[in-house]
Amino acid sequence: MRTQVVIIGSGPSGLLLGQLLTHAGIDNVILDRASKDHILGRVRAGVLEEGTVRLMDEARSGARMYAEGLPHDGVSLAFDGRDHRIDLFGLTDGKRVLIYGQTELTRDLMGCRETTGASTVYEAVNVTPHDFDGDAPYVTYEKGGSTHRIECDFIAGCDGSHGVSRRAVPEKAIRTFEKVYPFGWLGILADVPPVSPELVYANHPRGFALCSMRSMSRSRYYIQCSRDEKLEEWDDQRFWDELRRRLPAHHAERVVTGPSFEKSIAPLRSFVAEPMRFHRLFLVGDAAHIVPPTGAKGLNLAASDVHYLYEGLLEHYEDRSNAGLDAYSARALSRVWKAVRFSWWMTTMMHRFPDTSDFDQKIQEAELDYLTHSRAAATALAENYVGLPF
């Protein structure tokens, strides 16, 4: 079998790239090792930047997102028992974010892909990219007891941080940068109304807490926990009690509790692999970089990578120019590092670190005080939070 682009991974980056290519008449096949239900069962990001929203539109997959997504014009930073609102809309000349879950975005992209008839192979075993350093790459996988081979022009490695694409690159050709944070996030989903109509990021002596949502009747809450925290030790009651302790009183009083239907722990780390292109193999999204979730950049960075790669592929097929593909890695990494910086900064400012000195604590307090009293500092947060342009 032959196609123009093999996409490894059916997460947001693979699906978004697939839709854009299909609508531009560029043939592509998506291979994922997981089942469709497994992929749709993953609860992850919830905040979309305007650039991501625009790409969903360009991929002709945005109808439900526009109908059901919640536009947010501000976020709150809570510390010292008070809320300090960052006016995203006012500080960025009218930009906002859209609250729409990654699960829903994935469902929409999968549904639209099915209507185009483009091919997706779920539960593909041993997916392996071959010969991407030459001009005749191909990908093999096993399914139904036989081995399949797809010849192609390009391979897009959209297979997340534990995928096969980055690992297929010889170690000496790749440089990695990593920072591991000494905590994780314990998150729950519950069908209860959110404490506040806007997101609340809380810095409290007991640790960070985040009040987010999926709709006005479904809340997503996170609390900072230790890296080796045991999920089974956190029944719902313990979670709600701890969340309330970390919020200012006026929010804590308004927390509506109920049974959680999802509960998980995510470790926090920053990671970047450079470069993001290896001749005919391109790394996209989490396959190339991970950010801690503070600031909600992971999914949005995957979308900007897709934008740069899509532009490069379009130029290659329509204009017979490789300029966009040649520039892919540098263009993507320039935006990636700025989001890595922002996520690291938000994480450092909002969490309690186990080994914090009195000096570090004072600096954190000064940072929050500065941010909430300086329009220039608040603008810097706002323009990063709504997403740097791409």
Token output for 221: 């809450």
Write down the H helix ranges in 59-168: 63-68, 88-91, 102-116
Among 204, 251, 289, 297, the active-site one is 297
- Contact region for ligand FAD (CB under 6 A) — 77-85, 157-165, 224-232, 273-281? 157-165
- CB of 209 closer than 8 Å to CB of 202: yes
Nearer to ligand FAD among residue 17 and residue 78 (C-beta): 17
Q: Which of 293, 308, 316, 351 is catalytic?
A: 293
Q: Measured from the CB of residue 264, what is the shortest distance to ligand FAD in angstroms?
A: 6
Cα separation, 359 vs 235, in Å, equals 36
Asked if 33 interacts with ligand FAD (CB under 6 A), we say yes
Give the max Cα distance, the chain.
64
Helices (H), 24-62: 36-40, 50-58
Provide, rounded to whole angstroms, the least separation between the CB of residue 287 and ligand FAD: 6
Selecting among 12, 72, 292, 316, the annotated active-site residue is 72
Question: Using CA atoms, how far apart are residues 52 and 102, in angstroms rounded to an integer?
Answer: 11
How many CB atoms are located within 10 Å of the residue 285 CB?
32
Answer for which of 39, 75, 105, 378 binds ligand FAD (CB under 6 A) is 39
Query: Of 29-37, 49-57, 288-296, 370-378, which segment contacts ligand DHB by CB under 6 A?
Result: 288-296
Strands (DSSP E) found in the chain: 5-8, 28-31, 47-48, 70-72, 75-79, 82-86, 97-99, 119-121, 125-130, 138-143, 146-151, 154-157, 175-190, 200-202, 209-215, 218-225, 260-274, 277-278, 281-283, 289-290
The nearer residue to ligand FAD, 155 or 255, going by C-beta atoms, is 155
User: Smallest Cα–Cα separation from 159: which of 148, 149, 146, 168?
Assistant: 168
Stretch that binds ligand FAD, among 37-45, 76-84, 312-320, 345-353 (CB under 6 A): 37-45
Q: Is residue 293 near ligand FAD by the rule CB under 6 A?
A: yes
Each residue 330-369 as x (binds ligand DHB by CB under 6 A) or -, in order, gives ----------------------------------------
Give the residue, chosen from 77, 112, 152, 164, that forms a contact with ligand FAD under the rule CB under 6 A.
164
Tell me: does residue 296 bind ligand DHB (CB under 6 A).
Answer: yes
| Nearest CA-CA partner of 30 in 192, 134, 139, 103 | 139
Give the SS3 label for residue 185: strand
Q: Is 295 in the site for ligand DHB (CB under 6 A)?
A: yes
Contacts (CB under 6 A) with ligand FAD, residues 117-156: 127
Q: How far is CA 302 from CA 52, 159, 290, 348, in A?
A: 9, 11, 10, 23
200 binds ligand DHB (CB under 6 A): no
Interface mask (CB under 6 A) for ligand FAD, residues 212-251, using x and -?
----------------------------------------
Task: Assess 47 for contact with ligand DHB (CB under 6 A).
Answer: yes
Binding site residues, ligand DHB, CB under 6 A: 45-47, 199, 210, 212, 220, 293-296
